[in-house]
Homo-oligomer: A and B are copies of this chain.
Amino acid sequence: MSKNAWVTLATNDSYSLGALVVAHSLKRVHTVHQLAVLITPGVSEAMRTKLRNVFNLVEEVNLLDSKDEANLALLKRPELGITFTKLHCWRLTQYEKCVFLDADTLVLRNSDELFEREELSAAPDIGWPDCFNSGVYVYRPSLETFASLLQFAVTNGSFDGGDQGLLNAYFSEWAHKDIQKHLPFVYNTSSVATYSYLPAFKQFGHNTKILHFIGVSKPWLQNFNSETRKVYVPSECYHLANFLQYWWDIFCEDVHSRLSPDMCGLAGALAQLHLGEAKSVEQEAYEEHMRRQCWETGNIDYMGRDSFDNIWRRIQQTLNAGSAGGASDAATTATTSTTSTVVTVAPARSTRSPRSRSSTPKRDARDRSPTPQPEDKVPVEKKEGN
């Protein structure tokens, strides 16, 4: 068995959908290397079970429970929680070399040759190309490097508030020292490259090996027709249509049957789909609500009014009452009710990265950091009655 591994990270059940698709995209291109996923407490027990079926290693990273140096570092710089989560990949010293893949990537062709590169190899970031994008990188697990990264983070922080800023500051020689550490862009082709320089995408895009769905183009946020198994592609994502459909093809063929309704957020909702059949009205309404949340910039009240139970109850009340407004109205109304139920409604958080917090819509659209928000401060319980 290979001593190398592909490593990804899932902080909730929705990002776990991405992680599962990444894993299956790797299996489809017959990688010889192992698959590992880091998870945080935000991932449900049901999802963990499924992840274990697909990944060689499922490793929980629970900063708040740990009493080690990572925790001590975090106490000094609590705003770096997200950043620290990703750094834990350096602790996987059972592997000789790893390639980290964000859960919003999709492997289109066998890329095992990446393991021939040395730490830290990565592709340029489309927003400031003397920085690398931290969605795909080759690294060598090492407790020493991990400790050094932590110390660096505590001392210097992160210029973008996320892992990308930290890693670029730490591996600051990347830009100018060794061309071998510049991965070709086709190993981390940003989905926004389809419009940032369309002629180049048309010229080189067919060589893409790993696509990175950055910003708001996450595949699981697109509307999906369970009857035809086709994704609805927004006009502005036209050039991504094949990639988005491929993601949903893998979802339908390899992931969907492994889901269960006691998963959280969108994963639980999608588990209830019957592929080849039209969605129920409730299903349609619930999914629509989950997705719309992801596009909104306001704060979601995970603790109360936006809990799954409240949304579901309001949808059914509204449908039962025969409201003409239907699903859309119901979901909207639901956000104004309040209870104390504690539920994970994951996708809304998972799409808001540190960078997008203070950004304009224009910058949102180009936001590339896929690292989800930390789960640590949000109590997580399984939703009831599903």
Q: Does A256 contact B (CB under 8 A)?
A: no
Of A49-57, A62-70, A136-144, A190-198, the one contacting chain B is: A190-198
Q: Does A33 contact B (CB under 8 A)?
A: no
With a cutoff of 8 Å between Cβ atoms, the chain B residues found around residue A366 in the complex are 195-197
Of A89-97, A99-107, A357-365, the one contacting chain B is: A357-365
* Chain B nearest CB, measured from A127 CB (Å): 3
With a cutoff of 8 Å between Cβ atoms, the chain B residues found around residue A363 in the complex are 195-196, 198
Q: Which residue in B130, B161, B204 is a CB contact (below 8 Å) of A130?
A: B204
Of the four ranges (under 10, 10 to 19, 20 to 34, 35 or more), the interface on chain A belongs to 35 or more
* Chain B nearest CB, measured from A353 CB (Å): 11
With a cutoff of 8 Å between Cβ atoms, the chain B residues found around residue A196 in the complex are 126-128, 363, 366
Least CB separation from A358: chain B residue: B198
Q: Which residue in B126, B182, B198, B199 is a CB contact (below 8 Å) of A176?
A: B182
- Copies per complex? 2
Check if B131 sits within 8 Å of A362, measured CB to CB. Answer: no
Check if B362 sits within 8 Å of A195, measured CB to CB. Answer: yes
With a cutoff of 8 Å between Cβ atoms, the chain B residues found around residue A182 in the complex are 175-176, 179, 182
Q: Does A203 contact B (CB under 8 A)?
A: yes
Cα distance A128–B195 when bound, in Å?
Answer: 10
Interface string of A104-129 (1 = CB under 8 A from B): 00000000000000000001111111
Interface string of A344-369 (1 = CB under 8 A from B): 00000000000100011011001010
* Chain B nearest CB, measured from A154 CB (Å): 18
* Chain B nearest CB, measured from A369 CB (Å): 10
With a cutoff of 8 Å between Cβ atoms, the chain B residues found around residue A195 in the complex are 360, 362-363, 366
10 A-B pairs in the complex with CB atoms less than 8 angstroms apart: A124-B124, A125-B129, A126-B129, A127-B193, A128-B196, A128-B200, A128-B204, A130-B185, A130-B204, A236-B362
Query: Which residues of A are in contact with B by a Cβ distance under 8 Å?
Result: 123-131, 159-161, 165, 168, 175-179, 182, 184-186, 193, 195-204, 236, 355, 359-360, 362-363, 366, 368
